[in-house]
Structure 1
C-alpha cells in the first residue's frame, strides 16, 4: 500500500512538472486565449478595444507623413446640432470616438469613456470595407482582372474545401454558399471557434481551407460569412506574392498620411486578420470615408479607381439585400449613402451627395438590441443634413466670371 501511494505521489509530481512546463511554453497563447474569453467583459471592453496590441499578435504599418484634417466651423456645427442631444446618444451607445467631416473639414470630434484622440481603435468588420478598397486598386491595375475567376485560381489550398467553385465576386458579396455560424454569443459558433484559433496562434488560412459545409450553391443567396473576407486576402496574396499590410500601407495609408501608424492583428503565421483586425484612430477611419466620398481621389491622386467606388458601393448581392462588395447600404438608402459596419458599434458613414463622413468607434455590448442600428442611421442622417447647411454653396457661373 505504501509503495502504491509513493508511486501515485511520483506520478502526480511528474504531472505537475509537465503542466507547469506546458504553462511556461504556451504562456503567451494561453494569455491570448484568456484575453479572447474576457475581451467583451463590461469592465474591460473599452480599454481592450484601444489596446489590442497588448493582447494579440500584431503587424505594424507605415501610415506615411501625417497630414492634418482642416477644421471647419466646429462651433457653428455644435450650435446647430444641439437639438439632436448627441450627448445622450453617445452615452446610450457606449461611443468612444466620434468624428464628423463636412466637405473634408472637421465639424465635430469627441472622445469618451476615458479614451483619447490618439488611441488606435479596433475596427472589427469595418476592416472588410478597407480590404475592398485594396482589391479595387489591384483590379484596376489588372493584377486581379476578372472578378468571376474562381478563388482557387489564386488560392489553390482552397481546392476541395467549401470554397471550391466560388468566384471572387461571390465572396466579395458574401454569397459564397459556405455554411458558417456568425453568432458572437454562441461559444461554439464558427466565428468564436475562429477567434480561439487566432488567439492560440493558429492559421487563418488553415481555418478557411478547413471549411467543408455548404448551405447552397455559390452566388445563389446572401449570408454574412466573415471568413469570406479572409478568402479575399488569400486571393490577393496569391495574386501578388505580398502581404496585406505591405499592400495596404503602400497603396492606401502612406499616400493618405494617417495620424498614427496603424496595425493589424495577425494569426500565429503573421497573416493579417483582415476581416476585423485593423486598428486606426477615429480620425483615420474618417479619412477612409473621405477617400470614398471623393470617389477614390486623395490629394490629387486617384488611389482607388472611381468606377470601383461606384460598383462596390451599390446593393449588388443576391436576394435584394443592402450589401455590395464588403459595404453596407441602409434600408431605403438615399442617393450616395453607404457605410462600413463593425460589431460593438463601429461605423464609417458616407453621404457622397452631401459630402459628409461620420466615423464612430464604440464599445457597445448592446449593439444588437432592437432599434440600435436604426437609431444610429437616424442620427447619421440628421448630422449629415446639418453638416450640409454649413458648407459653402457652389459658385455660380456669374460668380466665376467676376473673378
Structure 2
C-alpha cells in the first residue's frame, strides 16, 4: 500500500511539474488569448484600443528620420449642436477635423490623449490599398487582372484559385468567410484566435476552401481578402509589409509617431486591421488622399490610383453603400466623398468638395446596430457642410 501511495505521489508530482512547464512556455499565448476574450469588454475596451501592444505581438513601422509635417491651426469650427450627443452615444475617443489642411477641431474623450496610438481595425485596409497603388505604378505588380496564385502558388486548389488581384481588392473574391463578430465560432473570431496564439495568418488564408460565387460577380465584405493582398505584395517584393509601408507611405508623409502593426507568431503583419496610429496621423492620411495622393511636397500615391480606388467599382447592390479598392463610397456620394472604415467606430472621412477631412476613433460596442453606420455618415456630412 505504501509503495502504491509513493508511486501515486510521484506521478502526481510529475503531472504538476509538467503542467507548470507547459504553462510557463505557453504563458504568452495564454495571455494573448485572454486578451482577445476580454478585448471588447465594456470596462477595458477604451484602454485596450489605445494599448494593443500590451497584449499582442507587434512590429514597428518606422516613420523615418525626417521632420514631422506640420498641421497648422485654422479657424476653429463651430460644430453642429448634435455633435456632443453623438460623441457620447458612439463612445468616440478622438475627433480631428481638418479644413483645407489645417486643424479646425481636435478633441479627445473617455480619458484618452493626443499621443495615443489607436487601433485602426479595417481602416488598415485602405493603407494597404495605397501601398498596392504605389507598387502597381512602379511596375512591381504590372496587372491587377493577374491571378493571385501567380504570386502565391500556395493558394492554388483553395478558395482563391481563379480570383484576380482586382477581384480581391474589390472584395469580390467569392470566398466563404463568416464575418460575424458575435459568433465565437465565426471565421473572423477563429482568425483572432490564430493571431492570439501565435499561429500563421498565411496558413489560415491558404486553408480557405469554400466559395459561394464566381470571382468578380458578387460583393461580400471578406476581411481575409486583405491578408491575401498582403501575401501578393510580400511575394512580389520579397519584403515584409511593415518595411514596405514605411518606405512607400509612412516615411514620405512625415508622421508624428511611428505606427506599429500587430503580427502573428511568424512576424507577419496583421494587414487587415492591425495598424496603430495617432488620430492626427490618420488625419494626415485623409489629407493626402484629399490632395489626390500629394502630400509633404511629393506625390506619394499616384493620382490615378487614388481616383480609381475611391470610386464604387465593386459589384455592390445598387441601393447599398459602394466599395472600391479597399475604400468605402457612401450611398449618394458626390465626386470626391469617400472613407476608410473600421469596426467599433474608426473612420477617415474625406469630402474633397468641402476641403474637409474627419478622422475619428471610437470604442462603440453598438457599432453593428441598425442605423449606426448611417448616423455616422450623416454626422460627417453635417460637420463638413457646417465649416
Q: Give the TM-score range, shorter chain.
A: over 0.9
Deviation at 1:67, TM superposition (A): 2.1
Specify the alignment match of 1:15 in structure 2.
15
Q: Corresponding residue for 1:88?
A: 85
RMSD: 1.2
Could you say which residue in structure 2 is the equivalent of 1:398?
Answer: none
Q: For the Cα contact (< 8 Å) 2:316–2:323, is it kept in 1?
A: no
Which whole-Å CA distance do the structure 2 matches of 1:86 and 1:383 have between them? 8
Question: TM (normalized to structure 2)?
Answer: 0.96
Following superposition, the deviation at residue 4 of structure 1 comes to 4.7
Report the counterpart of residue 27 of structure 1 in structure 2.
Answer: 27
Is 1:113 aligned to residue 110 of structure 2? yes
Q: Is the 8 A contact 2:69 2:296 kept in 1?
A: no
Offset at residue 299 of structure 1 (A) = 2.6
The alpha-carbon deviation at position 334 of structure 1 amounts to 2.3
Counterpart CA distance in 1 for 2:11 and 2:344 is 47
Match of 1:69 among 71, 79, 91: 71
Give, in whole Å, the separation in 2 of the partners of 1:8 and 1:162. Answer: 51
| Residues 349-380 of structure 1 deviation map (CA, whole Å, 9 limit, x = unaligned) | 01111111000000111111122111111110
Is the alpha carbon distance of 1:12 and 1:213 closer, same or farther for their aligned partners in structure 2, counting shifts above 3 Å? farther
- Residue 229 of structure 1 corresponds to 226
- Of 230, 234, 240, the residue aligned with 2:237 is 240
Give the Å deviation of 1:306. 0.7
User: CA shift at 1:5, angstroms?
Assistant: 5.0
Q: Which moved more, 1:299-308 or 1:114-123?
A: 299-308
Instruction: Write the distance in 1 (CA, Å) between the matches of 2:168 and 2:9.
Output: 56
Return 5+ residue gaps in structure 1 as ranges. 388-403
Aligned to 1:350: 350
Distance 2:163 2:56 in 1: 31
Give unpaired runs (5+ residues) of structure 2. none
Q: Scaled by the length of structure 1, what TM-score is found?
A: 0.92
Q: Supply the distance in 2 between the matched residues of 1:163 and 1:354 (Cα, whole angstroms).
A: 40
Residue 263, structure 1, aligned to residue 260, structure 2: yes
Equivalent position of 1:59 in the other structure: 59
1:313 aligns to 2:310 (yes or no):
yes
The SS at the match of 1:230 is helix
Could you list the per-position Cα deviations for residues 123-154 of structure 1 after superposition, in whole angstroms to 9, with x for gaps in the alignment?
A: 00000011000000111111111001000111
SS of 1:84's equivalent?
A: coil
CA distance in 2, matches of 1:313, 1:116: 30
Number of positions where the alignment pairs a residue of Structure 1 with one of Structure 2? 382
CA distance in structure 1 between the aligned counterparts of 2:161 and 2:23, rounded to whole angstroms: 39
| 1:219 alignment partner in structure 2 | 216
3-state SS of 2:188 partner:
helix
Task: Spell out the pairing of 1:159-178 with structure 2 (5 A cutoff).
Answer: 159-178=156-175
Q: Displacement, 1:3?
A: 4.9
